[in-house]
Structure 1
Amino acid sequence: MGWSRLLSGFSKKTFWFSPFVLFTITMIFKIYLAAFVIYDGELLRPLLTGLPSIWTAFALVELFASRRKLAVYLIVNLLLTTVYFAVIMYYKYFGIIVTYHALMQIGQVAEVKGSVFQLLHPYFLLIYVDIVAAALVLIFNKKIRHSWNKLSNRRFQPLGAPFALFVSMFAICVLIVWPNRGIANELVQNERMGILNYEVFLMATGGNEKLLNPASVNQSAINELKGISEVVNPVGKDAAKGRNVIVVQLEAFQNFLLDKTIDGKEITPNLNKLLKESVYFPHFYQQAGSGNTSDAEFLTNTSLYVPLRVPATEAYADKALPSLPKLFRAQGYEALTFHTNDVAFWNRKNLYQALGFSRYYDRAFFGDEDIVHFGSSDEVLYKKTVAELKKQAEAGKKFYAMIISMSSHHPFNLPEPKNKISLPDRYQDTFVGDYIYSQNYTDYALGVLFDELKAGGLWDNSTIVIYGDHMGLPIYSLSKTDLSLLKELNGRDYNDAQMMNIPLIISAPGALKAQVLTQTGGQSDIMPTIANLAGISLAGTVHFGQDLLNQQHNLLPERYYLPSGSFINDREIFIPGAGFSDGRSIPLTKADKSGNAASTLEADQTRSTRSEFDRALKLLQMSDSYVRSLPAYKPDEGVPEDGSKSR
């Protein structure tokens, strides 16, 4: 059956102006625009995977839109275009393919509109040019509108649309989706399936998620997969027992900033000084997912992995989660959390309830003083937090306090008065320059925190834990100028290993000896490390991290910022392709005992194995299965109080 019969009633002249053909041509442009941004030069595959889904949508229009067909075509075109636009924008920051799950987070967009605009390249808007042009012509030219409507209402030969639909659906299901359904790497799976087919595949199947029997998830099985064993006499056990614990989570803070100077000026002078009296882990990596900062809070307090496509606050906030706040409260501590944004953002109120915090302090407590981005500045955060902690101490209460900094949030456009460092001209009006200004301010504000803690008599009797929540400089968003500045600053090309690398610093004055520990760690390891120092047993508490003071080897499964199947070990970051065999490795740069970069492991020194790949995927599967099996949170377990009402 040839095209002449399928398009019976169309002349050659009018054929090219039919909505089916015209919008197919414009959608091809959009397919390749997305491919240019995401797939780095793929030519044939985007067309072969993209056209069948476009033709399926348009064949459905031909079959079921008996009236106002042109308007329906425009609506379908707009919807498909918006999917491509969302995929492009999401990839530019997160390096992943957006899914329908992100629609549940649409309410957060207003809060981060500055980040959206920073990522928006003008040429991305060309993706809507055909829709805008068509709408303008139809609105202002009645003659064309009448002719095009008449042309649009001509019907295919009776079997034409069903035939086109059958062929497209067959190609999608049998030739495109089915052979690629088992790929763990979401980016490769999306590339092989095509953007629209991949989105429908996830909606129809939920992807590759397969849960285990939760009874099979126990600490012994977890340790075996990670390749570790329990330590009989752990180093550092009880070293900080009885102390207050203050955990500071730094917004978008990456490890490469520490001990760096620009034209002789330190970027992080206060943290550099703290390093000299702390335990410092330079090979520490983020494990956050789509919830970003809130996911980092979840990881730190539970030692469980984040869910695959949605924030932990959405997937797990109704669960009775085992956590550090609950463990400390069982020891008689108050468990407090401080954040200058509204507690409703990222559903934090429910998360804090599930984690067992006894009280939260949000924007209602900190007020509208000295606003930076979404709330009061870090300076206000730290001053008001320490004042509240002093009240706890004066009342004879020990506390576990989590403090969430926020002033260095993407897109790093600090108010001018907050710039505390003078950068040379080459950094002006660059993304990297703005990032350094913001993180220098982060360090400045930390100096305020340290001074307040010392002045308030809290410093010497506290264990202070500082780490970054997630990367700030996504490699997929950086210009050539930005990459050049980073190479100048770091002495090597910026890559995924540096992007994922955040610091972990633990200071307990008088209790911990300053040292640099070069083993690999991740955010899931914070809970067991703190528990060991505080003398809190994790027996009976399922956790996927490990005590970094007592384990020399690690296997860190990654998801979201790196595709599923990725992991970090002692030597490299491994990122799979369609499977293990076509994966790629990014060697880690190892530090010496002073914390300075010493060497980069060569390819023949990196020996990631299929076993590690399989075990990393199994660990994620075990965590998902375990958390979903947990009972629902019961209100009588203690709803956290609003700290603003305690004043």
Structure 2
Amino acid sequence: MKKVGQKIRGAFNTRIGFFILAIALFWLKTWWAYLSKFNLGAKGSVQNLLLMINPIPTAILLFGIALYLTGRKSYIFLMIIDFLTSFWLFANVLYYREFSDFLSINLIKGSGAVSNNLGKSIIGILDPSDFLIFLDVLILVLLLAFKLIRMDIRPLKKRYAMTVSALAVVFFGFNLSFAQHDRSGLLTRTFDNNYIVKYLGLNAYTVYDGVKTANANAAKNNANASDLKSVQAYLKQNQVPLSAEYGGVAKGKNVIIFHLESFQQFLIDFKWDGQEVTPNLNKIYHASDTLSFDNFFNQVGTGKTADAEMMLENSLFGLAEGPAMVQYGTTNTFQAAPAIFNQNGYTSAAFHGDVPSFWNRDNAYKSWGYNYFFSSSYYQQKSDYSIGYGLKDKIFLKDSAQYLQQLPQPFYAKLITVTNHYPYLLDKENQSIAKTDTGDSTVDGYVQTAKYLDQSVGEFMDWLDASGLAKNTMIVFYGDHYGISGNHKKAVAKLLGKDSFNNFDNAQFQRVPLMIHMPGLKGGINHTYGGEIDVLPTLLNLTGIKDTDSIQFGQDLLSPQRNQTVAFRNGDFVSPDYTKVGSTYYNTKSGEIIKDPAAPVKTTLDELTNHVATELSLSDSVITGDLLRFYEPAWFKKVDKTKYSYKKSKALKTLKADANKDTLEKQDGKSTEDLYKTDAPELK
């Protein structure tokens, strides 16, 4: 046995031996991470085999570069590569845990827009076992430091290094061939990033993402006016008549968009600990003058809130790789809601109690035509006023009232709440309901922050009534994206009282609220299937604003003839009849998998899949190619970004000059801010 140990140690004392040891350790820890840290959904022997072996080809290729170097430099370079690839795996584990996706180059390019607020989230996401990802690096360092393995500084013939590189390429070729056989069109069609990692590995995905990013940048440089024609032809072919019943019913009314952070539809009428979690929103949802939609879905990708805003304001999908607001918000041409309303006599304003650079809003909002952007500098800041991603909602909404009341009417205003944001933390003074008991820390605090958000909405609505603004205002409440991801299936099942929670259930779980409330509006619960992409055309019809031949991928939610197929960013979809998750199709009504569809059903499924893929692709081309720079319709004047400044001193001076006299005169010229009542303990 001793001789065997000496022979093994002797083998590792060679350069090739140490290289093989490093590959073996890296492979084992990566495979472990795939199985324990990600939800890649490998099914069957082929997929599981590919998942097991796919870390090896790229590891051999990357680590093999060290073999071209001489002496100690070879070992040092190998250790650096090992650490960097391990760190990349570690970063993806953390990101995946929250977003169910992998890091992309464009996301990293835009990370400065969100990095200032990620500290608490990262602490909440970390699991002690995550650091085992660096165990192989530590083992190799210790083996060398204590000279249990000695560096082999003898020269290594270049043909050996070249053979290793060639072996890596051949090995990857076999990997790719088997992957393409099991999943045709893997690299040519739009798939979830999970597919790429499952079949080819994380490092291969990184290269794939880099190539896609480079191609996207080239697409903008090569785009021309003719590319817009195919988009226009598609939109014309799929155009549906607007709702005549609701056309112009809110003409001349103020419009307030209430951005409900991470708020899901299941919270409506949900009870916990003997209480309604959202009594104020429940009341609005069921009111006779509220149009409520119970089959309304979030359609966000990795950009989450930024994607929701892109769809809401532009009726364009977010991108598959990173937030479009960050990547294209500064430079692209848009025909967005704020500018459309501006050009129809409205004043536009956005309110957000955080730094203006978050998601590049300070630049994107200028491109979209917002007259005002009230961000963190406009609000009083104290240490206990903020949590996570900005001002607590009660404080934010109360302080926003002073600016909202001054806006010239009619106005288009968006209020972005943040307290109901992961990791769902709330100080004890503001907690008014017990946590749920699923045992999942991510899920259990969700009802506490949701109830706080609901209380904030109730206070704001009371002020609207007291100030007189409610009589002339249409308020739109919408949830921007899911609050609980599909990585918490057990906890969600327990929360909802279900025996299980599968991929089909998770697709249906993407419902978020959409409520349109206005005195005198003919309300009710509408069961049509729709998503965030459909909000803008719906609002424009309600307010009687005509935007003939607009480049918008949504349809009026109130049109009886609308297409009810809701596209998700990864190519999945839901509709009243069918749901697609990955490569699996379900009957939406029963939730059963459609295994061997009859010819007519298969044709319908193929048509729906192609429709979704086409819609996403064309929307992407509008953004990545900046195609709206080539489009100048008669009904829209191009936004001049230089006319907008969100500097506090300049904006407040303009606001004071344009202050809404109607609202102030109703209070004998006094501010209505004193009418705002809040129980926020921080303000007592």
TM-score under structure 1 length normalisation? 0.86
Q: Equivalents in 2 of 1:412, 1:435: separation in Å?
A: 6
Contact 2:507/2:574 (8 A) holds in 1: no
Identity score, percent: 25
Contact 1:15/1:21 (8 A) holds in 2: no
1:83 aligns with 2:88: yes
Q: Equivalents in 2 of 1:234, 1:194: separation in Å?
A: 52
**Number of the residue aligned with 1:38:** 39
**Number of the residue aligned with 2:18:** 19
Q: Equivalents in 1 of 2:396, 2:215: separation in Å?
A: 42
**Number of the residue aligned with 1:52:** 57
Greater shift in the superposed pair: 211-220 or 358-367: 211-220
1:188 aligns with 2:195: yes
In the alignment, residue 91 of structure 1 is paired with which amino acid? Y
**Number of the residue aligned with 1:573:** 579
Q: 1:434 to 1:423 in 2, by over 3 A?
A: closer
How far the C-alpha of 1:423 sits from its partner, in A, is: 4.8
How far the C-alpha of 1:422 sits from its partner, in A, is: 3.5
In the alignment, residue 374 of structure 1 is paired with which amino acid? Y
After TM superposition, the structure 1 = structure 2 runs for residues 336-351 of structure 1, keeping only pairs within 5 Å, are 336-351=349-364
**Number of the residue aligned with 2:558:** 549
Contact 1:333/1:400 (8 A) holds in 2: yes
In the alignment, residue 570 of structure 1 is paired with which amino acid? P
After TM superposition, the structure 1 = structure 2 runs for residues 314-329 of structure 1, keeping only pairs within 5 Å, are 314-317=326-329, 318-329=331-342
Please point out which of 603, 617, 624 is paired with 2:620. 624
Q: Equivalents in 2 of 1:586, 1:376: separation in Å?
A: 42
Greater shift in the superposed pair: 248-257 or 187-196: 187-196
How far the C-alpha of 1:485 sits from its partner, in A, is: 2.7
1:271 aligns with 2:281: yes
**Number of the residue aligned with 2:501:** 493
**Number of the residue aligned with 2:670:** none
Structure 1, unaligned stretches of length 5 or more? Answer: 1-8, 577-582, 590-598
* SS, match of residue 13 in structure 2: helix
Q: Equivalents in 2 of 1:491, 1:47: separation in Å?
A: 31
Please point out which of 373, 388, 399 is paired with 2:403. 388
Q: Equivalents in 2 of 1:533, 1:385: separation in Å?
A: 25
How far the C-alpha of 1:352 sits from its partner, in A, is: 0.3
**Number of the residue aligned with 2:667:** none
Q: 1:220 to 1:101 in 2, by over 3 A?
A: closer
Contact 2:369/2:639 (8 A) holds in 1: no
Q: Deviations over 1:169-188 (max 9, x none)?
A: 23325751794422421322
Cα RMSD of the aligned pairs, angstroms, is: 2.9
* SS, match of residue 527 in structure 2: coil
Q: Equivalents in 2 of 1:174, 1:525: separation in Å?
A: 44
In the alignment, residue 641 of structure 1 is paired with which amino acid? Y
Q: Equivalents in 2 of 1:48, 1:429: separation in Å?
A: 32
Q: Equivalents in 2 of 1:588, 1:529: separation in Å?
A: 25
1:378 aligns with 2:383: no
Q: Equivalents in 2 of 1:609, 1:40: separation in Å?
A: 22
Q: Deviations over 1:170-220 (max 9, x none)?
A: 332575179442242132233222221221133235498796852324455
Contact 2:250/2:543 (8 A) holds in 1: yes
1:518 aligns with 2:527: yes
Greater shift in the superposed pair: 165-174 or 413-422: 165-174
Q: Equivalents in 2 of 1:519, 1:484: separation in Å?
A: 26
Q: Equivalents in 2 of 1:636, 1:80: separation in Å?
A: 42
Q: Equivalents in 2 of 1:195, 1:330: separation in Å?
A: 47
Q: 1:641 to 1:14 in 2, by over 3 A?
A: closer
How far the C-alpha of 1:332 sits from its partner, in A, is: 1.5
After TM superposition, the structure 1 = structure 2 runs for residues 127-166 of structure 1, keeping only pairs within 5 Å, are 127-135=133-141, 141=146, 143-144=147-148, 148=150, 150-151=151-152, 153-166=153-166
Q: Deviations over 1:198-254 (max 9, x none)?
A: 211332354987968523244552253x5x5224x6220010101000001111000
Q: Equivalents in 2 of 1:275, 1:516: separation in Å?
A: 8
How far the C-alpha of 1:464 sits from its partner, in A, is: 0.2
* SS, match of residue 501 in structure 1: coil
Q: 1:304 to 1:55 in 2, by over 3 A?
A: same
How far the C-alpha of 1:16 sits from its partner, in A, is: 9.6
Please point out which of 391, 405, 411 is paired with 2:417. 405
In the alignment, residue 374 of structure 2 is paired with which amino acid? Y
**Number of the residue aligned with 1:470:** 481
* SS, match of residue 68 in structure 1: helix
Q: Equivalents in 1 of 2:158, 2:134: separation in Å?
A: 32
TM-score under structure 2 length normalisation? 0.82
Please point out which of 115, 118, 124 is paired with 2:124. 118
Q: 1:588 to 1:443 in 2, by over 3 A?
A: farther
Greater shift in the superposed pair: 12-21 or 544-553: 12-21
Q: 1:468 to 1:587 in 2, by over 3 A?
A: farther
Greater shift in the superposed pair: 170-179 or 33-42: 170-179
Contact 2:298/2:512 (8 A) holds in 1: yes
Contact 1:93/1:474 (8 A) holds in 2: yes
Q: Equivalents in 2 of 1:156, 1:49: separation in Å?
A: 27
* SS, match of residue 295 in structure 2: strand
After TM superposition, the structure 1 = structure 2 runs for residues 272-351 of structure 1, keeping only pairs within 5 Å, are 272-277=282-287, 278-317=290-329, 318-351=331-364
1:251 aligns with 2:261: yes
